[in-house]
Amino acid sequence: MFRDLTLPNGVESKIDGILNGVQSEAAARLSLDSEGGSVPQTPKTRYLRTAISVGLAAATHENETLNRAEGGAGGFKVVGIIVGAAVQSHPLAISMGALGASRSIYNNFIARGRDVDFPKHTAMQVEVGAREARDVR
């Protein structure tokens, strides 16, 4: 939704603008919702990424070097692998794995969508109306 309009000559106006259409590449994978918001289509790989993170967290059930490294991989990737293998702490490995699994679940299923940035000079169709002045009491 657009709330302000600034013309090239510097004149500013308060508006209510709704995005009706946008020209984007197919690779951007965008769609418009009923309120004019651009919504990125979520990839199906989010299920796979989450399953891998949960699997790496579950792999820390035994206190072995490989299992600790797997827990670190789920939470902190390469740095986690090194720390998990080097530090002989089973609770640390469990914590890193749990952090990675919970972060993946949150980012892929709970969190609101991500911001969409349009390149400069992107063609858009915007429905514009004047914003009504509101009585403030």
Boundaries of every domain in the chain = 2-41+114-130, 45-110
Segment 78-90 shows an average pLDDT of: 89
Distance separating alpha carbons of residues 42 and 61, to the nearest angstrom: 32
Q: What is the C-alpha to C-alpha distance for residues 50 and 40, in angstroms, rounded to an integer?
A: 19
Residues sharing a CB contact under 8 Å with residue 93, sequence separation 6 or more, in sequence order = 60, 63, 67, 68, 69, 70, 71, 72, 84
Instruction: Tell me the pLDDT of the chain averaged across its residues.
Output: 80
- Whether 74 and 97 have beta carbons less than 8 Å apart is answered as yes
Global model pTM greater than 0.85: no
80 near 64, Cβ under 8 Å? no
- Asked if residue 99 has pLDDT above 90, the reply is yes
Per DSSP bridges, beta strands 38-40 and 12-22 are: unpaired
Q: What is the pLDDT of residue 116?
A: 66
Give pLDDT, residue 27: 47
Pair 56, 69: CB distance under 8 Å: no
Q: Give percent of the chain with pLDDT exceeding 90.
A: 20
Task: Answer whether 47's CB lies under 8 Å from 109's CB.
Answer: no
Q: Compute φ and ψ for 75, nearest 5 degrees.
A: -95, -40
